[in-house]
Structure 1
Amino acid sequence: MLETRALTAAYGQFRALFGVDITLAAGETVAIIGANGAGKSTLLRSITGVLRNAPDMVLHRGEPIGALPPEIVMRRGIAMVPEGRKLFPSLSVEENLLIGGQVRRAPGPWSLAAIYDLFPILQAKRLAPGTSLSGGQQQMVAIGRALMSNPEVLLCDEISLGLAPVVIRDIYAALPAIKSTGTAVIVVEQDIARALSVADRVYCMMEGRVTLTAPAQGVTRAEIHQAYFGGAA
């Protein structure tokens, strides 16, 4: 479904990624973990076209997309829930959701009704300004906005950041329903236990490189520690 091959990325003279190889199969959930500065968000920006690369460094269904602009990548079925949510402050909850539907692919499982079934609180708040909601509710809007495009690949960047544990639980409880539609998911997360609980496989990154690839349910604490910090557990 999605693959990076020897992916590199830089911000000016600063190199952020060094030859990153990852794969994502149809319907699979992959967690990408690592400390701040590991390159996780840069990886997602490269996949979505925010950072341009050589065409064959990112493949979608076997076709090179590394040099495509973000709007074309999204129309191909790759949507991102950005870190910090980035809702439109002048729009209501429902208007924010409808923005995602402006680039809808072929008919799929997600509509306003489906989003409201997934996150019922959003229907009650649908006329409120998007940024007037709590942080957790805003995250639900950001996820719903991405789903409204009916993506086959959903990229989630730090969706638990700054949220209370009970809210994080509710956000993550929605992921099985999303996966059940056949959507493949990449979850970038610093909460390792939470990420592993929903993932099929895990990649760990450190300083712009992949340091571990493993089944999420079979990886050990010592392996994660070594990959995360580069030292002995």
Structure 2
Amino acid sequence: MLLETRGLTASYGQFRALFGVDVTIAAGECVAIIGANGAGKSTLMRAITGILRNEPGMVLHKGEPIGALSPAAIMQRGIAMVPEGRRLFPSLSVEENLLIGGQMRKVAGPWSLEAVYDLFPILKERRRSPGTALSGGQQQMVAIGRALMSNPELLLCDEISLGLAPVVIRDIYAALPKIRAGGAAMVVVEQDIGKALSVADRVYCMMEGRVTLAAPAAAVTRAAIHAAYFGEAA
């Protein structure tokens, strides 16, 4: 198992956001995390990547406890995140933003500057532009490319379609199989259930900080998703 959470809890001060979350991610697979706003999806990503610290044994990477490690140490282990809101460096160009990803974890792998440009050709055209001068969709491509430049074993994508036009979402989702072909496992956090299921091997649904459904994406029914998503009877 590439990554596993065991009874994962997380809090923001006095507010408990996750309650005993158990998820698993195998090498090379794509897992979708779905749920409404406030379900705990982004909090789960922050806990996995060390932004929210927890007990060491609550997050395991290749069987080793990493729950108390810093975000930098977790990235060095090959876990990278595309954060919600993209969070590009506004003073840097597109290419400089991408190169920072490579500096964070210098390991050999399929992803280089040219490989990212092959994946998203528009970025090569705009490589000298400030990252924040791009459209929302192009900024999302930069954020994905920056994470890929670290050649991760596990790529966490937090709300990658949020606020984007349908045509841009289509282009980004078309790139995900190419990313998987490079060998990385993926977690896709998404509110668009159809998009999530279209790329995932397995799906987890969260509600109010708990997992309410865990199933193979190809087998899960709309009724089961509805019940897990809204806490209603199927």
Give the TM-score normalised by the residue count of structure 1: 0.99
RMSD between superposed Cα atoms in Å: 0.6
For residues 42 and 231 of structure 2, the distance between their equivalents in structure 1, rounded to whole angstroms, comes to 20
Tell me the SS of whatever aligns to 1:15: strand
- The residue aligned with 2:95 is 94
The CA deviation string for residues 25-48 of structure 1, in whole angstroms up to 9 with x for no partner, is 000000000000000000000000
- The residue aligned with 1:137 is 138
Residue type matched to 2:221 in 1? T
Residue type matched to 1:173 in 2? A
Preserved CA contact (<8 Å) 1:88 1:130? yes
Equivalences for residues 48-87 of structure 1 within 5 A: 48-87=49-88
Q: CA deviation at 1:103?
A: 1.7
Q: CA deviation at 1:66?
A: 0.2
Tell me the SS of whatever aligns to 1:68: coil
Preserved CA contact (<8 Å) 2:98 2:145? yes
Tell me the SS of whatever aligns to 2:6: strand
- The residue aligned with 1:154 is 155
Tell me the SS of whatever aligns to 2:144: helix
- The residue aligned with 1:30 is 31
Preserved CA contact (<8 Å) 1:105 1:151? no
Preserved CA contact (<8 Å) 1:77 1:105? no
For residues 8 and 185 of structure 1, the distance between their equivalents in structure 2, rounded to whole angstroms, comes to 22
The CA deviation string for residues 117-171 of structure 1, in whole angstroms up to 9 with x for no partner, is 0000000000000000000000000000000000000000000000000100000
- The residue aligned with 1:10 is 11
Q: CA deviation at 1:182?
A: 1.1
Equivalences for residues 112-191 of structure 1 within 5 A: 112-191=113-192
* Stretches (4+) displaced over 2 A: none
Preserved CA contact (<8 Å) 2:107 2:150? no
Give the TM-score normalised by the residue count of structure 2: 0.99
Give the paired residue count. Answer: 233
Tell me the SS of whatever aligns to 1:114: helix
Quote the sequence identity (%).
Answer: 80
Q: CA deviation at 1:232?
A: 2.7
